[in-house]
Amino acid sequence: MLCLEPDYLEKFICDGQRCGAQCCRLWTVFVDGETYEKYKGLPAAQGSEMLKRLVHGEEGQAPWAWDFGKEKICHFLQEDFLCGIQRQHGEEYLGSTCAIYPRKPVDIGGSFQMSLSLSCPLAAELALFRDTPVEFKWRERDASRPSFWQEIACQKGEEGVAASCLLLQDTGLNILQLKMPLLEKLSALLAYLREADQAVEAGDFEKLLALSDDYSHGGGEREEGLSWELDEHFPGLRETLAVPESRNQHLKALHPIKTGEALPPLELMLENILVSEYFVELFPCTLDGTLRHNGRAFLALALLYREAIERAQGNASEIVYNINRISTLMGHDREWQETLSQNV
């Protein structure tokens, strides 16, 4: 099948020795039923070691999950930070979470997409440290692990919903990559989503097409009064988000990684983060509420990401770490995401 991906996904290599295998501790790691059956088919001495480390998974996720024990570390993580299961049996014996993460596979009405979560430091490094804007390319992929593809508007009768979602996503990405200052692009995005709400509410797809074409080429209105000051737009948001952040155990697994990459200009680095996050989190349709509401949440994310970069004071390792934290919260913490949504 053809799959739309950011260009840097092709360069991604999972390397636990570089990142310290951060995703192999303090996370819930699911194992699908097909892989479970493979473990049962192994010779007893090998398969029993894996089977006894499995517990029942969460409803709606997968039937099994690894029991990380009291230390909250995967039993099969070796001293060199590589996976013992993959080393002994091959990648096909990894459970779905391990085989897929940090990739995120999505099927929107039969249009397939694959992205990389910036909660992974090696993925964030690829998105951040480049001297050109992110490009999106169609590539051929096998439809592996089909139960772990997120399906959106894939049922009969939902073709219009899928077409609208794809159009809204594509237009937002086009706006974010226009040749103009990033703050102006964000103001155009908010104005577009406000007008798109009206077209969607009226069920006028032709109007939505016309709006999308206009804004994708730099036209349309602009949201007035935007600045890079978080407190000016969202007073108290930083303090409010600190509450769910303090309860997130995944953050304890994160730590800076060594990187020798040169820093690109701030505007380009931030643009590539935002383009990546818009794609991976399926904006502007990821949160409950209007498209405009999603745009407000995305603006808040943009301001938080900019603060995170500036706080690192030019230290590339700290930049990656700060980006990992926000992406972990946005992509993997429902409480943090809902708190953001409720306060924008």
Stated as kind and residue range, the H or E segment containing 116 is strand 111-116
Per-residue pLDDT tens over the stretch 159-214? 999 999 999 999 999 999 999 999 999 999 999 999 999 999 999 999 999 999 99
What is the predicted pLDDT for the residue at 57?
85
Length of the chain, in residues:
344
**Phi, psi (5° rounding) for residue 218?**
95, 0
Task: Give the neighbor-by-neighbor strand order of the sheet with 64-66.
Answer: 30-31, 64-66, 54-56
Q: What 3-state DSSP class applies to 328?
A: helix
What is the predicted pLDDT for the residue at 141?
86
Per-residue pLDDT tens over the stretch 15-29? 999 999 999 999 888
Omega of the bond prior to 284 within 30 degrees of 0, cis?
yes
pLDDT band at 247 (very low <50, low <70, confident <90, very high): very high
Per-residue pLDDT tens over the stretch 256-299? 999 988 899 999 999 999 999 999 999 999 999 999 999 999 99
Q: What 3-state DSSP class applies to 210?
A: helix
Which of the 8 DSSP states describes residue 265? P
Q: What 3-state DSSP class applies to 310?
A: helix
Per-residue pLDDT tens over the stretch 83-127? 999 999 998 899 888 999 999 999 999 999 999 999 999 999 999
Which of the 8 DSSP states describes residue 142? -
What is the predicted pLDDT for the residue at 296?
98
What Å distances lie between residue 43 and 40, 46, 47, 49, CA to CA?
8, 6, 6, 10
